[in-house]
Structure 1
Amino acid sequence: MKTPKLLDGRLKLRHLVLLDALLRQGTVVGAAAALHVTQPVVTRGLHELEEILGVTLFDRGPRGITPTVYGAAFGEHARAVLAQLNEAGRHLVELAQAERGTVVVGTHLAGTNVLLPRAITAMKRRRPNLTVIVREAAPEPLLVELAAGRVDMIVGRLTAPSDERLERRKLYDEAVHLVVRATHPLAGREVEPAELGEYPWIMPGAETALRRELEQFFARHEIALPVNRVETTSFLIVRELLLENDFIAALPSLITVDDTRLARLPIKLDQVGHSVGLTLPSRTLSPSAEAFIDCLTEIASEMDSRN
């Protein structure tokens, strides 16, 4: 195929926005709702983009649309362009307003309870007019948001090395412990692994690395995956469930270190532990984001000795 001419005036920014919406929503109906336009507008825009590129971007099916290899590949470039434009607009505002700006931080369970609140506190003392937006989600959706420029950085567990698209910067290592409420029947005594299967569990989502490690832990000790379980990565929900019930949960050590209402079970989670750090995009970050990274780094250094 010939190299498509993308700078001849036919390709518009609306085409890139449309492609991003289709990739995120997975249906024409969903993309139309997200963009507040009609379905024919979305369909026409997709046909225009496919004609400009000379390839089919999506396979149509009864349950929605699936990106082809061309749609997935061009979608990465489209999101990179949109991310750079979003960053350019925010950068201009920060330059014009000096101490004002916004940093958007994505996070999952590791880092949410101690590191982020303390870093935000430190940032607000230094730059009170800077807005910090925290978005909590599972790792994979956050990576999509990071690639699209809707999130500046991700704070949480590091599960892969840096590559050409993402920089992963370790802040500290953290152990994981089995945790129950202080009045739990297993608290304050020796516990055999087989006893763990007799109680309900709070499990991280199936898409997380910690979930896979727990499943391996169960397998090594010949414990069936708990049928009576709740799956969530929200610490607020985990804590309340632990305090009110006989649940067991696997939590990062810093989350429970100062909470006397919770108790750690004396069972070693061999091969379960992680590094907490930053996942950063390859694009240039705003001054606000860089300032927040400095706060995270300082707070993490203070916390590391307590872990």
Structure 2
Amino acid sequence: MKLLRGIHNLKNEHRGCVLSIGNFDGIHLGHQAVLNRLLIEAERLNVPAVVLTFEPQPAELFAGDNAPARLSRLRDKFVQLEKQGLDRLLCVSFTHHFANLSAEDFIAELLIKKLDIKYLVVGDDFHFGYQRKGDFALLKQAGKKYGFEVIDTQSLMQSDLRISSTRIRDALAQGDLQRASAMLGRKYSIAGRVVHGQKLGRTIGVPTANLLLKRRVSPVSGVYVVSVLGINEKVYQGVANIGQRPTVQGVRQQLEVHLFDFSADLYGLQLEVILEEKLRDEVRFDSFAELKIQIDKDIELAREWHNKKS
């Protein structure tokens, strides 16, 4: 799958496609239903299947730190969309200038002039353009004018409830990983590159790999049993803390993962950390010594969890 960053990178060779538009935050089962329909139409029309998404997500531009927590960064979306078998991901920079584009210009300038779409698949609650005035009815009118088909897919339901990124965020915030996984169609995971940290874990015999959480707000925090991919073909077991590390005056949210029985250098590697079970919330301890005692308990509980599952 090819990533195209910005409308300015669209060329004539990118014209003619089937398209779906949205945040696709989490690539949950509802999103996957939309993408399945997109792939069917791409094969029928013999054109590429393309997803258009935005960075930052619109709510992040307008609400800043008050925006909902993101389930997935752009890289996470790319990984999951590639697994679905799509041809291209077009990432548009969502600025105030772009947000002020009228719904009619959005259709004429981007969908028709730049992409020449043949088929459009959107969610049943999709709105676009200045003040979100664009909707499915407007797209249907445009389809008749410009000669493309458009359908909206009904929300996928589970236990009479709509599958949505909001409900997945709520489940994760409550530590209910099983409920989140049921809506995602897979276990929730976080991907990121290992960076240099304060190396405090080494001083107490608990070295950690540190991944920066490049998002305004994380949907999860606390201590988790984890499985880790990306080192080699093997799945590694461990325990992770996600948060600001208040005991050591941390200010940035990050993920620290301790791998069991592992000592190699991981700096620069891109890891995927799968959250298996939440052990506890992140808390501030009065001393580093108290933190060390709790970390030992966390490691023991995480080992026991993995041993029961193996």
TM-score > 0.5, shorter chain as reference: no
Q: Which has the higher helix share?
A: 1
Tell me which interval the TM-score lies in, with the shorter structure as reference length: under 0.3
Higher relative contact order (CA 8 A, sep 6+): 1
Give the TM-score of the pair, scaled to structure 2.
0.23
Q: Which has the higher strand share?
A: 2
Give the TM-score of the pair, scaled to structure 1.
0.23
